[in-house]
Amino acid sequence: MAVKEPSRRAHRQLAFQALYGQEFLDCNTVEDLKKAFLSVPRQEDAPEAEEPSGFAWELVLGVWQHRRELDAVIEKFARNWRLDRVGRVELNLLRLGVYEMLYRADVPCKVSMNEALELDKQYGDARSHTFVNGILDAVSKALEKGELKARG
């Protein structure tokens, strides 16, 4: 019987968990990031790996490589909020969503927003949903109006 490929949602969940976890580690190199990624406990439908690969790894690596730029975009749309005041869960969900919007032409903005909000329901603060939605919606609209340029 063929092994079923994990859903993109499972990949996003794994990517979020790895990004959140690396916040507490000293990931200064890609090798450090790989170790952090591989150390995340896998759910039943999450991709198993001995070496980082696949959609989840692409998201983790992309967010890690572009974190300063992603943070600048988030800060631009997080009116009256400094990033150091944003919870780590919400910040990593925002980074993930904004990364997909800017760098993943294969993922529509609405899908990135919906997936980030689904993860926020599972992991975020009960009151963070509106905040995360507002920022991702503003980024999406800025892309539509040409105020932000997609890079992917």
Q: pLDDT band for 152, please (50, 70, 90 cuts).
A: confident
In a domain, 17, yes or no: yes
- Looking at the predicted structure, is the pLDDT value of residue 1 above 60? no
| Residue the block writes with tokens 């507490």 | 24
The answer to whether position 112 is within a domain reads yes
Tally of domains within the chain: 1
Binning the chain into helix, strand and coil, the percentages to the nearest 5 are 65, 0, 35
Whether pLDDT at 142 is above 90: yes
Full residue range of the structural domain in which residue 72 is found: 8-145
Model's pTM, two decimal places? 0.90
pLDDT, position 107: 95
Q: What is the CATH number of the domain that holds 40?
A: 1.10.940.10
